[in-house]
Structures are given as structure tokens and as C-alpha cells.
Chains A and B, each alone.
Chain A
């Protein structure tokens, strides 16, 4: 049994590395394949270890294509821009390490937050459910009012993104978030890079250093926001990062990357705790777990141990993969690579979301480009999820 569990842990890490590195291949898809692959005849504890290690690995690795290739998924979209800036300064590896610090700090926070969740969530969930719509509405208004460059342009982008999100999420397509967020953050960045003839400089293998004080703001923001986002559907890592950075005031690019790394991992890890405490699925992975078992305390312990063990293995693995990218990215013709990624993303969108998905991808790419052209912060593009979430949660 122990040997099988160790094998499942490694299999999960391999699968999560694959889903993390391949833009457009979501862990939910691979988890669903594992679930339906009855020939594997996995018993429940082994399946839990496999799924958990895959999910946690994905949250560590998925920043690498986002930063080095400009090809994000729904949770890493906001890391593309600061990550790309680091890449253009020869510090792509540095950006990945920052998200890694975020992910590792999230796992440390999990040890502190999981017991609190088990005790308090059943009590506060009904109250939060009533207040959430107003809270996000306030955050959206605050986000616009604190925009320094042009409030009008920011408002325009925010509402256009909202209309885009509302219409896309109401289309009869599978996984509408794939074309929506790929266009807003991925293809638009790639097209802009090609248009401006971006050249990736040789990457520096500098010694990593960060002032410990830099960790305070992202850690506090993660503690404040991740639990709320872990409790409610429709609020993902990107929204959590925006809300967190809004609450904490000005964050440096380094701090923002740490923040998005930590919320991405913490929301995934907490979704298992939420499933245990209030039996609600807040991530696709938690939904798949709920299909095979009702989580009890011993299953949750197994999941949490898997999370911690996976993290120990993922630190060197993430650094190794990031360094490999970092050492080789400048040798590649970036325009050709960007073109290939663009084609790949279009194919992925077509496979998952068919022609309507391509239409969404087209519209979202244009909006992403417009946002870049107008010089508006790209976090306003998250209006595509914030506005539908506000409408869903407001009690009107």
C-alpha cells in the first residue's frame, strides 16, 4: 500500500508537471480522465494522493509557460505581464522563483489556516454568502477610483471586459474561460510581442535575494483574501490577487508575483478543506474528489500530508524546469516560437470550445490588445469575471 501511495504521488507530480507546462491542458481534464479510467482500478486513498499531488504540482508549474512563453491559464493570466517584464530584463527565472516563494508560503499558511477553516467556516459561511456581492462591488469601485493614469479608460476596459465575460459565460460552450482568458492575457500578449519585434535577451542566472520585509504584504493579502475566494465559486486566483493587491495598497512587481503564486496554490489546497467542512466544490478537482468519496477527517489528513510531501519535491523540480527554460529561451527564435504557441492556443480553444470559442478568443484578444494600447493596467480585464460574479452574488 505504501509503495502504491508513493507511486501515486510521483505519478501525480508527473501529470501535474505536464498540465502545468502545456498551455490549455487543464488539470480538471486530466483528473476526469483518471476518474473515468476504470482500468487503473485505483482505490480511494491512492486516487486522492494522485489527484492532490497533480493539482498542487499544477499550481507550482503553471507559471513557467505564463512567464517564459506568455501562454497563461485561467489562474496565471495576471502573472503574464509582470512575468514578461522580468523576462525582457533577463530575469524570467527570478519571476518564476518569486511565484515559487508564493506557492511555498501558501503551503506554510495552509498549516495555520486549515484548522481555523474546520472550526469557523461552517459558522461564517452563511454571513459571507450574503455580503460577498457588495464586497466585490466595493472592490471594483475602489479599483477604478485608485487608478492613477486614466479612470475613464480603465472604466471603459472594465465594463467592456464585463460585457465580454457575461456574453461568453452565457454561450453554450464547454470551458468558456479557456478562450476568454487565453485571449485577454495570452494571445494578446503574444501578438503584441510579435508586433513590437520583442527579442528575448540571454537570461541571467543571478543569485536570488529577497528582503524578508517584501514578504509581509503578499502574505497578509493571501491570508485575507484566499479563504474568501476558496469559499465561493466564480472567485479564482486572479480575482483573489486583484482583491488582495487592492486591499494592501501598492505592491511591487515582485510582491505581486509572490501574491499570485501564493493565492493560486492556497485556493487549490483550501478547496479540499472546504469540501470537508461544508461539502461544497470550489475547484474542479474538489468536484472530482466529491464524485468518488465523501471526505472524512482521515482522508483530509491524507490529502494534507500529500500536499506537504509534494511541496518538498516541487521546490527543486520547479527550479530545475525554470532554469532549463531560462538557459535556452534566448536561443529560440521568439517570433517563430510565439507564432507556434499562437497556433497551438487556437487549436486548443477549438478542441475545447469549437467555433464559438474561437469567436470568444477573437473578441478577448482584441480587448487585451486594446488594453495594452490604451496603457491601462491589465487587472481591469478581470472585469470579465468580477462583473458576472457581482451580478451573481448581489441579492437583487
Chain B
């Protein structure tokens, strides 16, 4: 019974820690926009550090070449090239643009 209680308490604690970490961890990266291209339901941003960011959205973003951005997303391999599919993007020191993102 003691063992069961100990496991129960440790489980709750560890899940709470995970929830806390997932809500608070900052894993954003930064970069400077080299070019930005719009196509149907997709925005492709090339950064000066040669990274490619993809946003699946048909909306217009108030971003232009030379803007500094902070972004979060998942890196994927597409046609043998790495690209980051963006979950959240922010123009540094300015407005949060994430509200314009589609969930898809």
C-alpha cells in the first residue's frame, strides 16, 4: 500500500512537472528575413542563415525582407531539404503574429 501511494504521488508530481515545463519552456529561434514568398495556402520565408520556414496560411503577414523574427516550429525534411513548419512567429520587439496562423 505504501509503495502504491508513493508511486501515485510520484506520478502526479512528475506529470505536473511535465505540464509546467511544456507550458513554460521557451524554445524559440531567431533569424533575419532574406525573402518572403506567398503561394496558395502557404508562405515560404527564407532566412539569412539559409533556413527555410513554412507557414500554412492564406493570410498576409506584415513582414518584409530585413525584419528580425522569433519563431517556433517543427523541423522536417521535404524533398531532401530541411524546412521548419512554423507554429508561432513573432516580429521581434513588435506585434505577435501568431494570431494570424491557421491550426492546419
A residues at B contact (CB < 8 Å): 32, 35-36, 38, 160, 163-164, 166-168, 170-172, 291, 356, 359-360, 362-363, 366-367, 369-370, 373-374
Contact = CB atoms under 8 A, between A and B. Distances in A.
B7 A373 contact: yes
Given A35-B77, A291-B78, A168 B11 contact: no
Contact of B18 (A291, A363, A369, A374): A363
Contact of A167 (B7, B12, B18, B72): B18
Nearest to A362: B14
Contacts of A163: 15, 19
Q: Closest 9 CB pairs between A and B?
A: A363-B14, A172-B27, A167-B18, A366-B11, A167-B22, A170-B22, A167-B19, A373-B4, A370-B7
A370 B80 contact: no
A34 to B, nearest CB: 12
Nearest to A171: B22
B7 A291 contact: no
Contacts of B11: 160, 363, 366-367, 369-370
B15 A356 contact: no
A356 B80 contact: no
A262 to B, nearest CB: 30
Interface size class of B (residues with CB under 8 A): 20 to 34
A362 B21 CA distance: 14
Contact of B17 (A170, A359, A374): A359
Q: Which label, helix, strand, loop or mixed, suits the secondary structure of the B interface?
A: helix
B80 A36 contact: yes
B25 interface: yes
Interface of B: 3-4, 7-8, 10-12, 14-15, 17-19, 21-23, 25, 27, 72, 77-80
Contacts of A36: 77, 80
A367 B77 contact: no
A230 B75 CA distance: 24
A369 B7 contact: yes
A171 B18 contact: yes
Contacts of A370: 4, 7-8, 11
B77 A168 contact: no
Nearest to B10: A366
Contacts of B78: 291
Contacts of B17: 359, 363
Nearest to A195: B3
Nearest to A35: B80
B19 A366 contact: no
A164 B12 CA distance: 10
Contact of A291 (B3, B25, B80): B80
B80 A363 contact: no
A369 B7 CA distance: 7
14 contacts: A35-B77, A160-B15, A163-B15, A163-B19, A164-B15, A166-B22, A167-B15, A171-B18, A171-B21, A291-B80, A359-B17, A363-B15, A369-B7, A370-B11
A74 to B, nearest CB: 18
A45 to B, nearest CB: 18
A163 B22 CA distance: 11
